[in-house]
A and B are shown apart, each in its own frame.
Chain A
């Protein structure tokens, strides 16, 4: 069987890829995808620990998180749509009206 650390390393790797995407991209859609990656990194952790301790509660939480993520994507895409309409594009660095 696969040792527990491997899952954690995988989770950390996925999380870092998400952060990297968040920090380097300008496209709002890519932003959303990066956030999804980070969310799934957390999900992997939940499932891995659940498996490790032999307790299904964590896996149930994983299912809930997926459902929430789906809902969140709907909201996120809605926001991107509005962004597109108001700023003629999906470049997040262009939408800077909420500043001091």
Chain B
């Protein structure tokens, strides 16, 4: 196993190679380049697993691969690889899901006779490669570049069906909204360079370490705007957080994600589970050593997370289309991860990132399978009774739904419960803001349980409501196999970190993820983060009692939500119950008018300002430039008249010039004095 980490760059390069192959030779290959992508992601997956085991064995890798700009003042811009437990875990998740999505695409794209497959597989390969590059980045600038590449690929894939009206518009929206956050991220990257002179995540000059030393007065850094160190670090942290909020679809930049459902369903699975949306949360986890130093930033992260979790969950309740429900559940679940990170639950949030990747990929692929069966009709009110027609999809989807709703013992329960538990104990330890965020997160559990099972019952239970649902289109092995793999993972992935069981029954050593994330670099492990966090813990009764109460309450709420859905929708002929919501229904259908107010900001605030700036640009800046040009043109039109074409005139001018020169020199030289 020695030296396996030397092959880590290949994990990134293999999908990139498949991108080149699919782009260049995809049209000559069978399956439109799919086999290259499947082979490449399978290879990456094998390497990622090997890397994972090497990292479990205590190996790490932190190497600069290429310096692409030598700095004069010791700031070098580099590409490098950082393999530590966090990135190793993420590599396994991303490569596994990318591989399964490629396989699933055979069923969803090839078998359905789509055109433009080489373009599809090329973009899919580049998407995987960029995300993997982002995961292994060893500095913030490289992370930013791959972050942008991820955004570009999502644009390409969401707008894959560019001949229709919806997808290109959704792709543009996704690109612009995430780009809005990325502006702040870019400024944050520059600020990190200006402050610390380095943007490395690990190593002797890692910026989180420098920041920590600066706060202890052991090291001096440049701060700006006359701020103290902590205030300035908060500003930098919030700037970088802008990119995170955009990519991870947190309030208020979440509006792009539901629209992104216009893309092909396997792409939605990839975007939501492993690549694009996960990038934001992963970035916070990556530089957690920096965020943990500033309590204000953490509180803001926790509040955004808790609020988004609840906010998105309520919108998911009324949606009619299966993918829309999943889209809002994604926003909500990433809200939990942000809540976990903000509340000091680094391991909990990472754990939720992992379990969510599995069950959300599963749910999207399951939805894809249903959509194939329904001849691309996504409206759940046209489905019903699919349980008996497509049992593999049903049981896999059910496993994912139980995980999403957080029902014990499926994966989502363990991770969501740990996030909420960490928030609760740190909130009780003297942070009322965390308690508020906890309340929102807890309430969201109920809504999650409700909308998840509403979706399951409407889709699979009851009587078929349309002809298509009575005779669904069959799906093949290439759809069922990924579903089966993820179905098992969604049911079992939670067992890697059974903290509640450990705390309640006192069985030591079954929190494998905690132990795993405690390995490696001393400045990057969970233990170190726990030390620098500004939170203290407090319990209701004892530790075990708190665990039991927390888990009991969240499980109870999830079950209550599921039970309500069961009562309302698990009937042979379900009807809409949204009328009972009264006026709230309109608000929910319109997604709290988020799109409307953002359009209002654009047209009523930004546009007038732009108009004034345009006036300035057109009038003053362009005026100066145009003035200079008209002066030159006028002078030229006068001066050109001496070009008469008569040689004698030129000779006369030359002679006059010579005489004038001689006279001038004579005057200066004093010949006539």
A and B associate: yes
Chain B nearest CB: distance from A54 CB in Å? 28
- Whether the pair B655, A93 counts as a contact (CB closer than 8 A) is no
Instruction: Pick out which of these stretches binds chain B: A1-9, A19-27, A66-74.
Output: A19-27
Specify which chain A residues have a CB less than 8 angstroms from the CB of B648 in the assembled complex: 22-23, 26, 92-93
> Counting CB contacts under 8 A, is B644 at the interface?
yes
Q: How many residues of A contact B (CB 8 A)?
A: 13
Also in contact, A23 and B646, with CB within 8 A (given A100-B640, A100-B641): no
- Whether the pair B644, A23 counts as a contact (CB closer than 8 A) is no
> Counting CB contacts under 8 A, is B647 at the interface?
yes
Residues of chain B in range 461-511 having any CB-CB distance to chain A below 8 Å? none
Also in contact, A92 and B645, with CB within 8 A (given A19-B655, A100-B640): no
Task: Kindly supply a per-residue 1/0 record for chain A positions 68-100, scoring 1 wherever the CB is within 8 Å of any chain B CB and 0 otherwise.
Answer: 000000000000000000000000110111111
Chain B nearest CB: distance from A62 CB in Å? 23
- Whether the pair B655, A23 counts as a contact (CB closer than 8 A) is yes
> Counting CB contacts under 8 A, is B635 at the interface?
no
Choose one: A22, A95, A97, A98; the contact of B651 (CB below 8 Å): A22
- Whether the pair A96, B641 counts as a contact (CB closer than 8 A) is no
Residues of chain A in range 37-84 having any CB-CB distance to chain B below 8 Å? none
Residue of A nearest to B652 (CB): A23
- Whether the pair A99, B655 counts as a contact (CB closer than 8 A) is no
Specify which chain A residues have a CB less than 8 angstroms from the CB of B652 in the assembled complex: 23
- Whether the pair A99, B647 counts as a contact (CB closer than 8 A) is no
- Whether the pair B646, A92 counts as a contact (CB closer than 8 A) is yes
> Counting CB contacts under 8 A, is B643 at the interface?
yes
- Whether the pair A96, B646 counts as a contact (CB closer than 8 A) is yes
Chain A nearest CB: distance from B573 CB in Å? 91
Specify which chain B residues have a CB less than 8 angstroms from the CB of A22 in the assembled complex: 648, 651, 655
Chain B nearest CB: distance from A97 CB in Å? 6
Also in contact, A100 and B643, with CB within 8 A (given A19-B655, A23-B652): yes
Task: In the A-B complex, list the 10 residue pairs whose CB atoms are closest, starting with the nearest.
Answer: A99-B645, A96-B645, A100-B640, A100-B643, A92-B647, A22-B651, A98-B645, A93-B646, A96-B646, A99-B643
Interface residues on B, range: 10 to 19
Assembled-state Cα–Cα distance A61/B289 (Å): 80
Specify which chain A residues have a CB less than 8 angstroms from the CB of B646 in the assembled complex: 92-93, 96
Specify which chain A residues have a CB less than 8 angstroms from the CB of B645 in the assembled complex: 95-99
Chain A nearest CB: distance from B72 CB in Å? 50
Residue of A nearest to B637 (CB): A100
Query: Which of A's residues lie within 8 Å of B, judged by CB?
Result: 19, 22-23, 26, 31, 92-93, 95-100
29 sampled A-B residue pairs with Cβ under 8 A: A19-B655, A22-B648, A22-B651, A22-B655, A23-B648, A23-B651, A23-B652, A23-B655, A26-B648, A31-B647, A92-B646, A92-B647, A92-B648, A93-B646, A93-B647, A93-B648, A95-B645, A95-B647, A96-B644, A96-B645, A96-B646, A97-B645, A98-B645, A99-B643, A99-B644, A99-B645, A100-B640, A100-B641, A100-B643
Task: Kindly supply a per-residue 1/0 record for chain B positions 630-654, scoring 1 wherever the CB is within 8 Å of any chain A CB and 0 otherwise.
Answer: 0000000000110111111001100
Assembled-state Cα–Cα distance A99/B645 (Å): 4
Assembled-state Cα–Cα distance A93/B652 (Å): 13
Residue of B nearest to A26 (CB): B648
Residues of chain B in range 89-126 having any CB-CB distance to chain A below 8 Å? none
Residue of B nearest to A98 (CB): B645
Which interface residue of A19, A92, A96, A100 has the most chain B CB atoms within 10 A?
A: A100
Residue of A nearest to B659 (CB): A19
Assembled-state Cα–Cα distance A19/B643 (Å): 21
Assembled-state Cα–Cα distance A26/B645 (Å): 14
Chain B nearest CB: distance from A17 CB in Å? 13
Residue of A nearest to B655 (CB): A19
Chain B nearest CB: distance from A24 CB in Å? 9
Residue of A nearest to B636 (CB): A100
Assembled-state Cα–Cα distance A22/B655 (Å): 10
Specify which chain B residues have a CB less than 8 angstroms from the CB of A31 in the assembled complex: 647
Specify which chain A residues have a CB less than 8 angstroms from the CB of B655 in the assembled complex: 19, 22-23
Additional 4 contacts, C-beta under 8 A, given A26-B648, A96-B646: A23-B651, A23-B655, A95-B645, A100-B641
Which interface residue of B643, B646, B655 has the most chain A CB atoms within 10 A?
A: B646
Specify which chain A residues have a CB less than 8 angstroms from the CB of B644 in the assembled complex: 96, 99
Assembled-state Cα–Cα distance A26/B640 (Å): 24
Chain A nearest CB: distance from B467 CB in Å? 82
Residue of B nearest to A22 (CB): B651
Assembled-state Cα–Cα distance A23/B656 (Å): 11
Specify which chain A residues have a CB less than 8 angstroms from the CB of B647 in the assembled complex: 31, 92-93, 95
Specify which chain B residues have a CB less than 8 angstroms from the CB of A93 in the assembled complex: 646-648
Specify which chain B residues have a CB less than 8 angstroms from the CB of A95 in the assembled complex: 645, 647
Specify which chain B residues have a CB less than 8 angstroms from the CB of A96 in the assembled complex: 644-646
Residue of B nearest to A34 (CB): B651
Chain A nearest CB: distance from B624 CB in Å? 29
Specify which chain B residues have a CB less than 8 angstroms from the CB of A100 in the assembled complex: 640-641, 643
Chain A nearest CB: distance from B103 CB in Å? 74
Assembled-state Cα–Cα distance A26/B646 (Å): 10
